[in-house]
């Protein structure tokens, strides 16, 4: 059955998501992983992995930053720690992670996630030959493209089913620098209270959430992907994992969305007609809690990417 992958915000949140039906979790700390829904330091990471494992679920740790020379010593040390924990997979974007894992005997599966770059099956198979067991497809692909990649890939394929996506990243903390210049640095010092900062596009009437972390500034999509009523072809094709990305959403929101997708996958597995009868009610369940400034759409599943 297709895996339901989620992004918890805390160790306590993992417990709720296990009850909600999640199969696997993306965790880590922002020093090494990009755009994490929650921050898990080493103590939290150990507790989270033990909790996830005790329920027969899987723990994937994000080490998908792009690292400069001065970061490599810390990265290598972090890889040693992940091997101590025996995590289920490491998510990577930088080939340095492949080399570090090779030095350790390739004992932990690797998941290749290079955001917008993952656009054809040759790329997936290229990294599969170098140790990756899964590729995370670019969010800008159509349904037809995703299915074609799945049909021609020798690795597992992961598709984002729900949540916002990153449109722009700068390693500079653009907002922090701006407010520092304006002597307003206190206004963004506590990131938890600044999660609703929006960049307005009056021409298109769009509001782009702004996410700032250790890796810099990230401008996110104005809409949330939601394909809960369009899962049939993906599930029939054997897509290996569907991801719910909860960045900038509350724990309650992520938990409710996880319950909806768990129900959808289970109904489809039992009988596709049951899923077909229930899918719009499941969509309504999500729409009831959707933030007003975050419209739902189907991403690029049924439309061409516009550059």
Of all residues in the chain, the percent with pLDDT exceeding 90 is 65
- DSSP-H helix ranges across 137-228: 143-152, 174-181
Same domain, 198 and 119: no
Q: Answer yes or no: do 74 and 138 share one domain.
A: yes
Same domain membership, residue 79 and residue 36: yes
**Are 120 and 262 in the same domain?**
yes
Which residues fall within 8 angstroms of residue 69, CB to CB, at 6 or more apart?
none
**Is the same domain home to 52 and 80?**
yes
150 shares a domain with 46: yes
Are 252 and 134 contained in the same domain? yes
Of the three residues 217, 252, 286, the one that is the final residue of a domain is 217
Q: What is the pLDDT of residues 197-247, one digit of tens each?
A: 655 555 555 666 666 666 666 566 668 889 999 999 999 999 999 999 988
User: pLDDT (tens digit, 9 = 90+) per residue, 44-94?
Assistant: 999 999 999 999 999 999 999 888 899 899 999 999 999 999 999 999 999
pTM of this structure: 0.84
For residues 254 and 127, membership in a common domain is answered with yes
Whether residue 104 lies inside any domain: the answer is yes
Q: CATH number of the domain that 39 lies in?
A: 3.20.20.70
- 131 part of a folded domain: yes
Provide the token pair at 276: 């077909």
Q: Is 236 exposed, middle or buried (0-12, 13-18, 19+ CB in 10 A)?
A: exposed
Report the interhelical angle of 72-85 vs 95-103 (nearest 10°).
50
Task: Tell me the average pLDDT across 150-156.
Answer: 98
Same domain, 176 and 207: yes
Whether 23 and 141 share a structural domain: yes
- Which of 217, 232, 251 terminates a domain? The answer is 217
Same domain, yes or no: 273 and 160: yes
Q: Which domain holds residue 189?
A: 169-217
**Residue 304: inside a domain:** no
Task: Say if 303 falls within a structural domain.
Answer: no
What is the residue-averaged pLDDT of the chain? 86
Q: Are residues 194 and 277 in the same domain?
A: no
Is the pLDDT at 178 greater than 50? The verdict is no
What is the rounded distance in angstroms from the CA atom of residue 10 to the CA atom of residue 27? Answer: 9
Q: Is residue 305 part of a domain?
A: no
């Amino acid at each position: 059955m297709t895996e339901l992958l989620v992004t918890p915000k805390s160790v306590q949140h993992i417990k709720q998501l296990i009850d909600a039906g999640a199969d696997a979790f993306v965790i880590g700390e922002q020093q090494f992983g990009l755009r994490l829904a929650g921050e898990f330091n080493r103590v939290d990471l150990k507790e989270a992995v033990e909790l996830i494992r005790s329920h027969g679920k899987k723990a994937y740790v994000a080490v998908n930053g792009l690292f400069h020379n001065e970061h490599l010593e810390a990265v290598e040390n972090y890889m040693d720690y992940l091997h101590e924990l025996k995590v289920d997979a490491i998510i990577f974007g930088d080939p340095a992670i492949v080399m570090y894992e090779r030095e350790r005997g390739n004992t932990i599966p690797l998941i290749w996630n290079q955001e917008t770059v993952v656009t054809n099956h040759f790329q997936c198979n290229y990294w599969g030959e170098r140790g990756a067991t899964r590729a995370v497809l670019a969010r800008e692909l159509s349904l037809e493209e995703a299915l074609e990649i799945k049909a021609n890939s020798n690795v597992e394929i992961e598709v984002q089913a729900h949540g916002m996506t990153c449109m722009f990243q700068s390693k500079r903390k653009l907002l922090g620098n701006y407010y520092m210049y304006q002597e307003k640095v206190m206004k963004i010092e506590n990131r938890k209270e600044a999660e609703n900062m929006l960049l307005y596009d009056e021409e298109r009437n769009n509001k782009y959430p702004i996410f700032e972390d250790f890796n810099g500034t990230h401008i996110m999509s104005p809409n949330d992907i939601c394909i809960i009523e369009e899962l049939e072809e993906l599930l029939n094709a054997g897509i290996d994992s569907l991801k719910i990305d909860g960045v900038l959403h509350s724990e309650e929101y992520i938990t409710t969305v996880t319950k909806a997708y768990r129900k959808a996958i289970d109904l489809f597995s039992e009988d596709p007609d049951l899923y077909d009868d229930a899918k719009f009610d499941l969509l309504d369940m999500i729409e009831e809690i959707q933030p007003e400034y975050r419209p739902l759409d189907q991403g690029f599943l049924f439309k061409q990417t516009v550059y």
